[in-house]
Chains A and B, each alone.
Chain A
Amino acid sequence: MSDALLEVRNLESFYGPVMAIRGVSLDVREGSAVAVLGANGAGKTTLLRTISGIMDPEKGEIRLAGEPIAGGDPDRIVRKGVVHVPEGREVFPLLSVAENLGMGAYTRRDDGVDGDIETVLRYFPVLKQRLGQPAGTLSGGEQQMLAIARGLMARPRIMLLDEPSLGLSPIMVRDIFAIIRRLKEERGVTMLLVEQNARMALGVADFGYVMETGQIVMEGPADRLERSPDVQEFYLGGREAGALAERRWKRRKTWRS
């Protein structure tokens, strides 16, 4: 019914006893970048973890190019071409940068891996000088770059990026997003990008969803979302903080229309 590369339909997932995802549906087309915005605890990370198989869904379907992948083991889902770049970097601290990159290609059996390291490093020149260094000794921003580069090494059909801006300085955030944009435009990497930094995310994405307490409350093309008063208010800081909580409930009804 849809020609999307990744389709998520009515997904429900529990985080322990808490129902963190309450019936989420979304589409990611080949070659596009889709952003999922939302505050802490909205269920964004759970959504990605459910797609990548770290968590099993309670209900609903996930399809990659039409093939159901929901509830599969993580290594099989990676083999099918879904790579998850986790939040908080999560590198292998005692392995060298080069070994970390090699582990990104763990599921591959072809001999293009060395060539791909070269290609990937063109986007992350900082890592090139640090290939022999343990990944744990890199700065936060460099670790984030390594995590993205490592994800690319799997030659994914779709990359799930979880909060690449988390805990980084504004300059580093800008650099990382510049790289993400280049990857999309030059290499046509399909991505599902989860972010709290709405401005950065919508700047790269073609399409966006807004998530709140486990549900999609709003969706639309990125430029339209960026102009929407609700998004401006809650995620782009259009109004001062004091008015936020009150306004949230008052306007909520209009979000589902």
Chain B
Amino acid sequence: MENLQLAVSGLANGCIYGLIALGFVLIYKATEQVNFAQGDLMMLGAFIALALGNDSHIGAPFWVACAGAVLAMAALGWSLERVVLRPILGQPQIAAMILTIALGFVLRFVAGAIWGHDPLALETPIAGANFSLGGLILGADEIAAIVVTLLLTGLLFAFFSRTRLGVAMQASSQNQLAAYYMGIPVKRVHGLTWALAGATAAVAGILFASKGSIDPGTGFLGIKAFAAAVIGGFGSLPGALAGGLIVGLIEPFASRYISAGYAQIAPYAVMILVLVVRPHGIFAQVSAKKV
């Protein structure tokens, strides 16, 4: 029973890592750039929801605040691509990497300047609610994290496989030149991908904030999510989610059965192990690509 309890809380955390990892993978697949500010986008999304919804700030209803944060982050993601990343399109990958790392710093300081560096809590209607199922105690926040992640993943899956724009996004990530030849507006697709990554980050941020407090340093969670994306195989959407769940599950068990310190190291140890054994990640699609 104790193990089950650990698994549930691990899964809930893993869902959040998975959502951030999803943002990494979305942008990487579409633009071949790694957005190291993805964690900071999540942090910013959480803060915007908090600023809109908390009574001490604007005090809008919770759901309005959530929608507002998601829309604001989509707009921010779109504009970041348009203003910051598009000018360096075609430059070596390292340029985009350094740019997004710098972007992370900027977002962190902006958040710090606006909301301060002390931890703040997002007011949610589900805060503190618990259900007990048998001997198991399920937090409403944990259930929300799992359910919302499943829904969002399903939506994204349907979007990528069913809609014309989604298939075009896949197409331009698989063969950018051919996408140009087919008349797919590749640059606009990049912008929309960033918007999607921003919106996903906002959802992850709200879920994270409803499980505890946030401060501008929360964005460093992105590093753990990066490990998750690598474990899942950078470039695979289901892989990103699976990688997040793996990292989420490892943490509580490592902390329970080894020691709390090792729980911090465990995700990265697994990442290294996966890189050694299966360099393209668990869900790699690389083998299917024939040149």
Report A's interface with B, CB cutoff 8 A.
Answer: 52, 54, 73-75, 77-79, 83-86, 90-95, 99-100, 102-104, 106-107, 134, 136-137, 150, 154
- B81: min CB distance to chain A, Å: 17
- Which of B41-49, B70-78, B174-182, B200-208 contacts its partner? B174-182
What are the interface flags for B162-180 relative to A under an 8 Å C-beta threshold, 1 for contact and 0 otherwise? 0010011011001101111
Other CB < 8 Å A-B pairs besides A75-B180, A92-B179, 4 of them?
A: A86-B178, A92-B174, A136-B288, A150-B182
Report B's interface with A, CB cutoff 8 A.
Answer: 164, 167-168, 170-171, 174-175, 177-186, 285, 288-290
Q: From B167, B174, B184, give the contact of A93 (CB < 8 A).
A: B174
| Residues of A close to B179: CB separation below 8 A | 92, 103
Known: A136-B290, A137-B290. A95 touches B181 (CB 8 A): no
Judged by DSSP, the binding face of A is: mixed
| Residues of A close to B175: CB separation below 8 A | 90-93
The reply to whether B170 and A95 contact each other, CB–CB distance below 8 Å, is yes
**13 A-B pairs with C-beta separation under 8 A:** A74-B183, A78-B182, A83-B183, A84-B181, A90-B175, A92-B175, A93-B174, A95-B171, A99-B171, A100-B171, A103-B182, A107-B182, A137-B290
Closest 6 CB pairs of A and B: A78-B183, A107-B183, A90-B178, A75-B185, A75-B183, A74-B180
| Residues of B close to A150: CB separation below 8 A | 182
Q: From A83, A94, A106, give the contact of B184 (CB < 8 A).
A: A106
> Which residue on chain A has the smallest CB distance to residue B177?
A90
Assembly CA distance A54 to B174 (angstroms): 17
Known: A134-B288, A137-B288. A102 touches B180 (CB 8 A): no
Known: A102-B164, A102-B167, A103-B171. A93 touches B181 (CB 8 A): no
| Residues of A close to B164: CB separation below 8 A | 102, 106
> Which residue on chain B has the smallest CB distance to residue A147?
B178
The reply to whether B177 and A79 contact each other, CB–CB distance below 8 Å, is no
| Residues of A close to B285: CB separation below 8 A | 94
Assembly CA distance A73 to B167 (angstroms): 21
The reply to whether B177 and A86 contact each other, CB–CB distance below 8 Å, is yes
Assembly CA distance A147 to B174 (angstroms): 15
Known: A134-B288, A136-B288, A136-B290. A94 touches B181 (CB 8 A): no
- B233: min CB distance to chain A, Å: 13
The reply to whether B182 and A106 contact each other, CB–CB distance below 8 Å, is yes
- B171: min CB distance to chain A, Å: 5
Assembly CA distance A85 to B289 (angstroms): 20
The reply to whether B288 and A94 contact each other, CB–CB distance below 8 Å, is yes
> Which residue on chain A has the smallest CB distance to residue B181?
A84
Assembly CA distance A52 to B182 (angstroms): 10
Known: A99-B167, A102-B164, A102-B167. A74 touches B181 (CB 8 A): yes
Assembly CA distance A102 to B164 (angstroms): 8
| Residues of B close to A92: CB separation below 8 A | 170-171, 174-175, 178-179
- A114: min CB distance to chain B, Å: 13
Assembly CA distance A103 to B180 (angstroms): 11
| Residues of B close to A84: CB separation below 8 A | 181
| Residues of B close to A103: CB separation below 8 A | 167-168, 171, 179, 182, 184
| Residues of A close to B289: CB separation below 8 A | 93-94, 136
| Residues of A close to B184: CB separation below 8 A | 75, 103, 106
